[in-house]
């Protein structure tokens, strides 16, 4: 994915009072770190940050962070938010290289109609909503779709069942269940299960 340019000010004074002043000015205090460099206190415009992270990639959007005459390839990492207003109060930026593997969390979206489960008056329960992967920054998927169409009652789709894009490796345990199909309280499947239990 192409990177989005984000301008950052360096040399900000650290501390609660300074951070409060920056936020009052519409800026978000943050830290730029990685690759053995000393952490650099930075500040970015809140509006620019919202725009940069509002793409489909979200926090995994590759950024060209311009700071003090230098341009750093970076990913937004930990965001701290106000407990009431939910506005961003602090952000960490991680310096990355195009050719290195980094870890990222991506959203899992369930698609399809589990016809056999529906006919059995059952339900499909999504248990995992994000997947941690390892990939080069430009190869990080925006999200992954999980097709549940072939699910039968009593079956589950696990992380190991996913077909990931080339260059993307799952970090999440392969046995972790993404979606599981359960039988309903009526219908042939449930009747058979009840009969087996009574017998």
Q: What is the 3-state secondary structure (H, E, C) of the chain?
A: CCCEEEEEEECCCCCHHHHHHHHHCCEEEEEEEECCEEEEEEEEEHHHHHHHCCCCCHHHCEEEEEECCEEEEEEEEEEEECCCCCCEEEEEEEECCCCCCEEEEEEEEEECCCHHHHHCCCEEEECCCEEEEEECHHHCCCEEEEECCCCCCCCEEEHHHCCCCCCCEECCCCCCEEEEEECCCCCHHHHHHHHHHHC
Tell whether 91 and 18 lie within a shared domain.
Answer: yes
For the entire predicted model, the pTM comes to 0.76
Q: What's the pLDDT tens digit per position in 115-174?
A: 999 999 999 999 999 999 999 998 999 899 999 999 999 999 999 999 999 999 999 999
Tell whether 23 and 82 lie within a shared domain.
Answer: yes
Tokens in use for 152? 């039968």
Tell whether 74 and 116 lie within a shared domain.
Answer: no
Tell whether 54 and 110 lie within a shared domain.
Answer: no
More confident residue, 178 or 186: 178
More confident residue, 80 or 8: 8
Domain boundary residue among 96, 119, 143? Answer: 96
Tell whether 91 and 136 lie within a shared domain.
Answer: no
Could you tell me the CATH number of the domain that includes residue 130?
A: 2.170.120.20
For the segment 70-88, the average pLDDT, to the nearest whole number, is 83
Tell whether 190 and 109 lie within a shared domain.
Answer: yes
Nearest one of 140, 85, 76, 79 to 107, comparing CA atoms? 140
Tell whether 145 and 84 lie within a shared domain.
Answer: no
Instruction: Give the model's pLDDT for residue 15.
Output: 67
Q: What is the mean pLDDT of the chain?
A: 86
Tell whether 115 and 70 lie within a shared domain.
Answer: no
Tell whether 72 and 111 lie within a shared domain.
Answer: no
Tell whether 82 and 123 lie within a shared domain.
Answer: no
Domain boundary residue among 56, 73, 96? Answer: 96
Could you tell me the CATH number of the domain that includes residue 80?
A: 2.40.240.10
Domain boundary residue among 96, 115, 135? Answer: 96
Calculate what percentage of the chain has a pLDDT beyond 90.
53
Instruction: Give the model's pLDDT for residue 167.
Output: 94
Tell whether 193 and 161 lie within a shared domain.
Answer: yes
Q: How many domains does the chain have?
A: 2
**Full residue range of the structural domain in which residue 165 is found:** 103-198
Nearest one of 47, 40, 77 to 62, comparing CA atoms? 77
Q: What's the pLDDT tens digit per position in 39-73?
A: 888 999 989 988 888 888 888 899 999 988 889 99
């Amino acid at each position: 994915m192409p990177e989005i340019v984000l301008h950052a000010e360096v040399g900000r004074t650290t501390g609660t009072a300074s951070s409060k002043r920056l936020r009052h000015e519409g800026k978000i205090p943050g830290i730029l770190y990685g690759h053995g460099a000393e952490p650099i206190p930075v500040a970015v415009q809140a509006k620019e940050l919202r725009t940069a992270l509002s793409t489909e990639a979200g926090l995994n959007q590759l950024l060209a962070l311009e700071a003090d005459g230098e341009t750093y390839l970076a990913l937004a990492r930990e965001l701290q938010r106000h407990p009431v207003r939910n506005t961003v109060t602090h952000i960490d930026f991680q310096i990355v290289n195009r050719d290195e593997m980094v870890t990222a969390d991506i959203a899992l979206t369930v698609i399809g109609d589990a016809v056999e489960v529906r006919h059995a008056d059952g339900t499909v329960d999504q248990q995992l909503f994000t997947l941690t992967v390892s990939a080069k920054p430009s190869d990080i998927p925006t999200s992954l779709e999980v097709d549940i169409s072939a699910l039968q009652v009593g079956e589950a789709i696990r992380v190991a069942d996913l077909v990931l894009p080339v260059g993307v490796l799952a970090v999440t345990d392969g046995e972790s269940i993404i979606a599981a199909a359960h039988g309903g309280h009526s219908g042939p499947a449930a009747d058979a299960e009840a009969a087996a239990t009574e017998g």
